[in-house]
Structures are given as C-alpha cells and as structure tokens.
Amino acid sequence: MLERKGLIRFDNKDATIIGEDIKIGQQAPSFKAHLQDWTYLDILKMTRGKVRIIVSVPSVEMEVCNREISRFNEEAGNLSKVISILIISTDLPYAQKRYCATAGIDQIIVISDHLKTNFGKKYGCLIKEHRVLRNAVFVIDKKYKIIYANYSQNLGDEPDYSEVLETARNAL
C-alpha cells in the first residue's frame, strides 16, 4: 500500500498518509465499515440509489469535528431524502453511539473504520502514526462516481459546507 509523507502534519510532525488520494471522475471504491450496532457492511451498497456525502474526521471527540458533524446533521434536515450524509472516523462504534446520543446527532449516519481501516486506505485518509483519518469530504453520485473530493491541508480545517451541499444537490 502506498505511503506518503508531507501532505499533513500531526503533532507538529509530518504524518504518513496511507493510500492514494481520490480524484473527481473516478469510480468510488467500495468499502466496509461498522455501524453503531457493530454491523460490518459495504457502505456504498447500503446507500445504493442515493447521492452520498462522506465526511472523514479524525475523531468525534475533537471540537472541530464536533462542529462539522453538528453542522452536517443540521443541514441534513433540509436535504432531499435521496442524499445520505455519512461521517466516518476510527472511533469505536460504542463511542460513536454515545457521542451521537449526547450531541443529538440523528439526521446523519456515523460509521466506524476502526477494525480494518478499509475506508482510510482506499480513500487516502489513514494517518499511519496515529491510526486516525485525516479530514476530507467526498460526494458520490448515484452511479458511484466521485463528483467532489477535498482533503483538508490541516487537521481542524472545516470544509466549505455550501460547496459540498450544492454539489450533492446538483447530483440529484
């Protein structure tokens, strides 16, 4: 598996990213992850027929990730039911479940890449040294094509929410 340094810093050191970056226009790689009830399944198959916004975050416990998750949860209520918003981190499913209950996250799907880091490796998001995901956002259309891909330059950078949501709406 490809390893790259110098794309992002973690604790003031260059971090190693595992996997290649996803490019707009390519087919979205399938990946398996855990739901909060520990069900392990192919997430793209689970959301078949929908436009997907996939948001990669290091941890639901980080303040900036919390803001990002809350914002996407709030925005989800204003979107077509044909758009699914998925948040993925390497947090354990029971920690995600507790977080969602405490924070009132109920409009989006929060999933875990903790076991095999299948998503992190396939989407170029896994930070090797800390086994967490870097911040990134992808929009995948109903035909499994990547129509938006953005990797944050720094941990803690929030995405351009308007751009992400507009891309998803335009894919309907």
Neighbours of 156 (CB within 10 A): 13
Collapsing DSSP states into helix, strand and coil, what is residue 150?
Answer: strand
Going through the chain in order, the beta strands assigned E by DSSP cover 3-10, 13-18, 32-34, 40-42, 51-56, 83-89, 109-112, 126-127, 132-133, 136-140, 146-151
Beta bridge partners of residue 52, listed in sequence order:
84, 140
- Going by DSSP bridges, is the β-strand pair 132-133/13-18 parallel, antiparallel, or unpaired? unpaired
User: Given the structure tokens 């709406």, which residue do they identify?
Assistant: 169
Residues tagged active-site: 65
